[in-house]
Amino acid sequence: MKKVLSLVLALVMLFSFAVVTGCGGNSDSSEDDFLVGAIYINGKNDTAGYTFAHHNGITKAMEQLGMDVSKQLKIVDNVPEDDAQVTNAINTLASQGCKIIIGISFGYINAMEAAAEKYPEIIFSHATGYLSNDKNFNNYFGRIYQARYLAGIAAGKKSLALGNNNIGYVAAYGTEYAETCSGINAFALGVQAINPDAKVHVMKLNAWANESLERQFAEQLITQYGCGVIAQHCDSAQPQIAAQDKGVFGCGYNSDMTSQAANAHLTAPIWNWDVYYKLAIETAKNDPDNFMTKVGIYYGGLKEGFVDISPLTNNCEEGTKEIIDAVKAMMVSGEWDVFTNVKLSIAADGTITKVDGAMLDNKGGEVISADNTYYVYADGALKAVDGGAAAQDGVIKGSMNWYVAGVEEK
């Protein structure tokens, strides 16, 4: 009888322990129930470029929040900008229980807008776009033009040292998208601040990524147009590799491409995507009902640490860092910004002078007037944008469709 009683007590204790442990496990499991979904245009295992930078930012942010990336991040990658395929990716992530779905490419915009209505309980966050609603769909981007200007300074300083005023730029698109257009212009203005005689020659892919063409265009800019520095707005490191193979220099994009082209790379405009992703994921997890109030339309820059340039390499000219640090401080403090009626002129000794006056495009038109009015092309003519200086962000993000003087599209 004692043995039976002892066995019963042991079973009761074991059962009680199992219940307590099970409850604790459920608590941990509920924590793991918050899933992040991500749709990538390229592969999640990329080692450089656009998708790599986003994936690195998402995983870094999740780790900072104490999340288990292996369990709580669901990915559908290599998804082209096709509404049907994006919708399929969204449905897959929604069926897996994702509470926030991140789409990193511009062309995902329409499918994500429709999905936000279909799945009101899920937060949809779209990179580089312009659509949103007031409940569960936002867009996010950053002042990458600021970082491009800084990279332009490095390129301009190198071009002076080479005695070569020709700089190449492999671009996904040109004036069709404000994202690419503003980046090209900001880079060119940075180049010209230190080398006013420089020309920026642009070849566009008409695609966000095409590794074969990215290399071919870089080689053509070097061999046909004599470019001594190659910049880029495209996904892979191929333009930098081509620059290295041809014995010239370059500025990458999205991630530090020094490891891919150590003998050529100067610096790269980069994104610290984790700055945004930490805010977005944490808010979606802890306060989803107020996501649009707390996160909303995000547009961070150097000040927020959202954009920057990668560490300057030894390929840069002496004195480059001091100049870049000084200009960066001006932008961070709000003393000056790129697209205004004030240009910077940087002397050989690093002295920076502000020059007031209108900004001209490569057709001779005033695109930013002396009184800081912004213009864009409409029906073949320049037309003022309502809002004066307050229109700056709208033009940079959405409607800029002109090249500054000194930019030539091939």
Domain ranges of the chain: 35-142+272-300, 144-269+318-409
Q: What does the pLDDT read at residue 390?
A: 75
SS3 of the chain: helix, strand, coil, percent, to 5: 45, 20, 35
* Tokens 């004599």, residue located: 226
Does the fold of domain 144-269+318-409 match that of domain 35-142+272-300? Answer: yes
311: which DSSP letter?
P
The residues near 137 (Cβ < 8 Å, ≥ 6 apart) are 112, 113, 116, 123, 124, 125, 126, 131
- 131 half-sphere exposure, CB direction, 13 A CA radius: 16
Apex 309 CA angle, 239 and 327, nearest 5: 125
Q: What does the pLDDT read at residue 11?
A: 46
How far apart CA 337 and CA 328 sit, in angstroms, is: 9
**217, 239 in Cβ contact below 8 A?**
yes
Q: Under CATH, which number does the domain 144-269+318-409 receive?
A: 3.40.50.2300
Instruction: Convert the pLDDT of each residue in 16-60 to its tens digit.
Output: 444 333 443 333 445 578 999 999 999 999 998 899 999 999 999
* Tokens 């994202």, residue located: 179
Q: What does the pLDDT read at residue 119?
A: 98
Decide if domain 35-142+272-300 falls under CATH 3.40.50.12280: no
The CB density around residue 271, as the number of other CB atoms within 10 Å, is 24
Residues (pLDDT < 70) of the chain are: 1-31
Q: What does the pLDDT read at residue 388?
A: 74
**51, 70 in Cβ contact below 8 A?**
no
How far apart CA 312 and CA 365 sit, in angstroms, is: 35
Q: What are phi and psi of 160, to 5 degrees?
A: -65, -45
Q: What does the pLDDT read at residue 77?
A: 98
Quick one: which of 253, 248, 281, 284 has its CA closest to 267? 253
What radius of gyration, in Å, describes the C-alpha atoms of the chain? 25
